[in-house]
Amino acid sequence: MDMTLTEDQSMIQDMARKFAQTELAPVAEKLDQEGDRALFLKNLNSLAELGFMGLNVDDQYGGAEAGTVVFSLAVTEIARACASTAVTMSVTNMVAEVIQAVASEEQKKRYLPKLCSGEYPAGGFCLTETTAGSDPSNMKTTAVLEGDEWILNGAKQFITSAEYAGVFVVWAVTDKSQPRGKGISCFLVENNIPGLSVSKAEKKMGQHASATNEVLFENCRIPKSALMGELNQGFKVAVGELAGGRIGVGSIALGIGQAAMDYARDYITERQQFGKPIASFQGLQWMLADAFTDLEAARLLLMNAADKKAKSQPFSKEASMAKLFASEKANKACYTALQLMGGYGYIKEYPLERYARDVRITSIYEGTSEIQRVIIARELLREIA
Closest to 41 measured CA to CA, from 164, 159, 136: 164
Ramachandran angles phi, psi of 40, nearest 5°: -60, -45
User: Is 149 marked active-site?
Assistant: no
Burial (CB count within 10 angstroms: exposed 0-12, middle 13-18, buried 19+), residue 223: exposed
> What type of residue is 251?
S
Name the catalytic one among 49, 318, 366, 370.
366
Contacts of 30 (CB under 8 A, 6+ apart): 36, 39
Q: Bridge partners of 348?
A: none
Active site (catalytic) residues = 366
